[in-house]
Amino acid sequence: MQVGSASFDPNPSANPVSVERGKIAIPPKDKTILSGDGNIWIVLEENPPLSQEAKRTNTLVIASAPLPEIQEKEGMRMERILSPIKNEKTSRKIHPLPIIQHDQIFVRKATMGDLEQIYKVACSVGKNRKDSYHGFLIDDYASDPEYYKALFRQAISLLDHFYVAEKGKEVLGFLMAYTKRQWLAKNPNWLDEIVWHPLFDRKKTENFILVDKTAIRADLTSQGIGSRLYMRLVRDARSRGVLDIFGETVVDPIPNFASLAFRRKQHYTLAGVHYEEYGGRIVTDLVYHKSV
């Protein structure tokens, strides 16, 4: 995997491919697949899996075929990624997922009674093997249940912004966020460790909330549950006079493409890059900012 940044020239002749109305022009030489997220360009592996999210949105997935004679076949595969499948005989079967109506979702502050369900949600997306396309939490929560439950228990007790989204009595997802005071008490050097974007206004760090974890049950992603959690956070932040929210997204060693797409959906802008040590290796996070 490689991560880099570049500005996207809308002129098709200046780019390796051109895309128009969901159709794709495939060059005959290069084998790489690129996914564009604003001005952040990420090199993906060849032959990415078909996902529900890719089928529901016009995700910009650009591919090339190594030989002219397979361009047509490769183009059909990419057409299935970029738009709804029209030919059931050529499509792979998709198991139906639970559908949650927005009016069935209720967002509230987390309580100690939610601990077990919060942990189960975390385990569904925080595994040893990470899924870049559906999103993940960096930790492997099943590896040490008591340790992680203790962390959640402490967070429920201390954090001003710990929310759960529920349907009935079932927790579907959660969001953990820290005030500036709480975050710097835990990470005192955070502001100095970030390589800030040269155009970012550092005055926006005077009073902020940082979203540490957002997790939606693995079989319920891309249904607006995360957006509902963020709506509650933004409402509470404004009521306290906090107008700046930060969040981090991992891009190396394993890029979280689902999180990058969510940042774009929520209109975050890139504020900087953060390098931190985790599990004996350096993890690269993109630091995003949103004014509310």
In whole angstroms, what is the distance from residue 239 CA to residue 254 CA?
36
Q: Number of structural domains, the chain?
A: 2
* pLDDT of 91 higher than 50: no
Q: What percent of the chain has pLDDT above 90? A: 58
How much is the average pLDDT of 2-31?
36
Is residue 175 located within the same domain as residue 219? yes
Is residue 235 located within the same domain as residue 189? yes
Is residue 50 located within the same domain as residue 118? no
Is residue 86 located within the same domain as residue 122? no
Query: So what's the pLDDT on residue 133?
Result: 87
| Last residue of one domain, picked from the residues 34, 69, 90 | 90
Under the banding of pLDDT at 50, 70 and 90, the label for residue 51 is: very low
Taking the CA of residue 222 as centre, how many other CA atoms within 13 Å lie in the half-sphere pointing to its CB? 16
Type of residue at 135: G
Question: Around Cβ 79, how many Cβ atoms within 10 Å?
Answer: 16
| Token pair recorded at residue 201 | 């206004």
Query: So what's the pLDDT on residue 180?
Result: 98
Q: Is residue 162, in this structure, part of any structural domain at all?
A: yes
Is residue 48 located within the same domain as residue 115? no
Query: So what's the pLDDT on residue 221?
Result: 83
Is residue 72 located within the same domain as residue 107? no
Check residue 222 and give left, alpha or beta (phi > 0: left; psi -120 to 50: alpha). Answer: left
Is residue 272 located within the same domain as residue 163? yes
Q: Is residue 258, in this structure, part of any structural domain at all?
A: yes
Q: Is residue 96, in this structure, part of any structural domain at all?
A: no
Is residue 135 located within the same domain as residue 268? yes
| Last residue of one domain, picked from the residues 70, 90, 110 | 90
* pLDDT of 15 higher than 80: no
Q: Is residue 26, in this structure, part of any structural domain at all?
A: yes
In whole angstroms, what is the distance from residue 124 CA to residue 200 CA?
35
pLDDT one-digit tens code per residue, 238-259? 999 999 999 999 999 999 999 9
Is residue 38 located within the same domain as residue 84? yes
Is residue 127 located within the same domain as residue 210? yes
Cβ proximity of 122 and 141 under 8 Å: yes
* pLDDT of 116 higher than 50: yes
pTM: 0.67
Is residue 60 located within the same domain as residue 150? no
Query: So what's the pLDDT on residue 134?
Result: 84
Under the banding of pLDDT at 50, 70 and 90, the label for residue 97 is: low
In whole angstroms, what is the distance from residue 1 CA to residue 255 CA?
8
- List beta partners, residue 109: 163
How much is the average pLDDT of 254-279?
94
- Average pLDDT of the chain is 75
Burial per residue of 16-39, b for 16 or more beta-carbon CB atoms within 10 angstroms, e otherwise: ebbbeeeebebbeeeeebbbbbee
Backbone angles phi, psi at 64, to 5 degrees: -135, 155
Type of residue at 47: N
Q: Is residue 20, in this structure, part of any structural domain at all?
A: yes
* pLDDT of 270 higher than 70: yes
Cβ proximity of 213 and 250 under 8 Å: no
Residue 80: its H or E element: helix 71-82
| Token pair recorded at residue 177 | 């966020």
Q: Is residue 95, in this structure, part of any structural domain at all?
A: no
How much is the average pLDDT of 148-165?
97
Q: At 282, which CATH number?
A: 3.40.630.30
Q: Is residue 210, in this structure, part of any structural domain at all?
A: yes
Under the banding of pLDDT at 50, 70 and 90, the label for residue 222 is: confident
The domain in which residue 233 lies consists of 102-291
Query: So what's the pLDDT on residue 123?
Result: 97
